[in-house]
């Protein structure tokens, strides 16, 4: 699975851009040349005093000290034709240089601490929502996740694919709210799903367990969400059967891609999870869909279909999937690129896409 963290979700601090590293040196040379080419009564050399402070934003303490020393030499020796600093002026420039070195030293230490903290945060978030493997049992998987909150890997959406004694099961869900506030609910739902894959023989039992998990969290006094709910779709590929079972809990319909035509799988939607209605007294309906060789199923969250272009039109996922299905990079990355272009930079909501190909030997992803 390609999470696509290399461009949007990476939490590691980026090095300063090249122009920031070259700027102090270019300014140093430029000011010296300008001073040498201008009449003697115009002094530009004192602008050099600001260069150590500029260097402190992109260089370490040693590099900043080198710039500060160069500035002092250029201003202290009139024979160089750049400046004529003396006495208190020279002391002021030296003080600025020394403070710039201290700033560079503190900045480097803070950057190192920030990288450490972000690395720990990234590891924790990836432990919550690890990448989906390329293949789970007889099902080939491809997924993509984009959190709406910048600098995070996990938001209010979730997906997972697990193999168990009752076949391969998958879940795609959208928790109320998004960003870090919803991560606790995401963790609870994923834990309940992974237990249900092993313990519950019926797909409705998996939905009931997820519903009980949210209902219990809502009733807890410590919960920050008095009306917590989530939409979800559950899929099950039973062993030895060419079909998929689907349970929808208020979630957008799954798309069936067959012969490069996309259609919504008709299911009887049940209520969202967390309302206490998915128990034994009101189990959600199970839809069985026979599968043919080459069929693919695309589950997604409403961050995809509710994304808008500048004119306010919704993204037409079902219409775009057949067009993008032949992309050499894969359907899921192609949908994300198309969605980002449609919205002019990407949607503002959490986005999750999960493509399941039960005939992995013959189906390209």
Using one digit for the tens of pLDDT, what is the confidence trace for 59-78?
889 989 998 898 888 888 87
Confidence of residue 180 (pLDDT cuts 50, 70, 90): low
DSSP-based three-state secondary structure for 257: strand
Condensed to tens digits (0 to 9), the pLDDT of residues 106-128 reads 988 888 888 777 776 666 666 77
> How confident is the model at residue 178, as a pLDDT?
59
pLDDT value for 277: 57
Nearest to 150 by CA among 337, 351, 302, 8: 8
**Cα(88)–Cα(64) distance, rounded to whole angstroms?**
22
Nearest to 184 by CA among 144, 150, 216: 216
- Mean pLDDT score, 74-83: 79
Q: How confident is the model at residue 222 (pLDDT cuts 50, 70, 90)?
A: low
What is the chain's length?
365
Q: Write out the two tokens for 117.
A: 């903290």
The yes-or-no verdict on residue 154 having pLDDT over 50 is: yes
C-alpha 214/C-alpha 30 separation (Å) is: 64
Query: What is the model's pLDDT at position 288?
Result: 95
pLDDT band at residue 17 using 50, 70 and 90 as cut-offs:
confident
Over the range 200-210, which residues count as b (16 or more CB within 10 Å of their CB) and which as e? beebbbbbbbb
Give the tens place of pLDDT for each residue, 200-219: 999 999 999 999 888 887 77
Residue 181: what pLDDT?
62
Asked if residue 273 lies in contact with residue 229, where contact means CB atoms within 8 angstroms, the answer is: yes
What span, in angstroms and rounded, lies between the C-alpha atoms of 292 and 247? Answer: 20
Residue 243: pLDDT over 90? yes
Question: Do the Cβ atoms of 175 and 161 come closer than 8 Å?
Answer: no
Closest CA to 353 of 298, 296, 307: 298
Kindly state the average pLDDT of the residues 232-261: 94
Stretch 161-181: mean pLDDT = 86
237 pLDDT tier (thresholds 50, 70, 90): very high
What average pLDDT does the segment 6-15 reach?
Answer: 47
Pick from 1-5, 30-34, 41-45, 166-170 the range whose average pLDDT is largest: 166-170
What's the average model confidence in pLDDT over 229-257? 94
Burial of 128 (0-12, 13-18, 19+ CB in 10 A): middle
What does each C-alpha distance from 122 to 144, 289, 309 come to in angstroms?
A: 17, 38, 31
Handedness of CA 333, 143, 155, 349 (dihedral sign): positive
Query: What digits encode the pLDDT tens for the residues 316-364?
Result: 999 999 999 888 789 999 999 999 999 988 888 889 999 999 874 444 4
Which pLDDT does position 151 carry in this prediction?
64
- pLDDT number for residue 130: 81
**In the prediction, which pLDDT does 341 show?**
93
Cα–Cα nearest to 100, from 74, 62, 73: 62
Give the DSSP H or E segment for 196: helix 183-199
For 276-319, what is each residue's pLDDT tens digit?
754 555 678 899 999 999 999 999 999 999 999 999 999 999 99
């Amino acid at each position: 699975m390609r999470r696509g963290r290399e461009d949007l979700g990476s939490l590691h601090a980026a090095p300063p851009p090249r122009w920031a590293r070259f700027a102090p040196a270019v300014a140093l040379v430029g000011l010296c040349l300008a001073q040498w080419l201008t009449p003697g009564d115009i002094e530009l050399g004192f602008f050099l005093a600001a260069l150590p402070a500029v260097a402190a934003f992109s260089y370490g303490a040693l590099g900043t000290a080198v710039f500060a020393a160069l500035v002092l030499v250029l201003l202290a020796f009139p024979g160089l034709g750049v400046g004529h600093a003396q006495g208190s002026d020279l002391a002021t420039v030296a003080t600025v240089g020394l403070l710039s070195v201290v700033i560079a030293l503190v900045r480097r230490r803070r950057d190192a601490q920030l990288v450490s903290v972000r690395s720990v945060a990234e590891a924790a978030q990836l432990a919550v929502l690890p990448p989906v493997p390329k293949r789970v049992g007889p099902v080939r998987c491809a997924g993509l996740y984009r959190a709406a909150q910048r600098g995070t890997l996990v938001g209010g959406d979730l997906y997972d694919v697990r193999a168990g004694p009752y076949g391969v099961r998958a879940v795609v869900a959208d928790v109320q709210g998004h960003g870090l506030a919803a991560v606790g609910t995401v963790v609870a739902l994923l834990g309940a799903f992974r237990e249900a894959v092993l313990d519950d023989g019926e797909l409705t039992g998996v939905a009931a367990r997820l519903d009980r998990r949210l209902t219990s969290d809502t009733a807890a006094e410590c919960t920050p969400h008095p009306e917590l709910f989530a939409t979800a779709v559950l899929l099950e590929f039973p062993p030895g059967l060419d079909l998929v079972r689907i349970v929808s809990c208020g979630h957008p319909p799954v798309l069936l891609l067959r012969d490069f035509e996309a259609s919504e799988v008709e299911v009887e939607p049940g209520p969202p999870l967390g309302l206490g209605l998915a128990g034994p007294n009101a189990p959600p309906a199970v839809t069985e869909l026979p599968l043919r060789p080459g069929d693919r199923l695309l589950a997604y969250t409403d961050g995809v279909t509710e994304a808008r272009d500048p004119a306010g039109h919704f993204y037409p996922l079902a219409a775009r999937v057949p067009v993008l299905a032949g992309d050499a990079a894969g359907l899921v990355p192609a949908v994300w690129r198309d969605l980002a272009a449609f919205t002019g930079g990407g949607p503002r909501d959490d986005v999750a896409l999960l493509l399941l190909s039960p005939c992995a030997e013959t189906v390209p992803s």
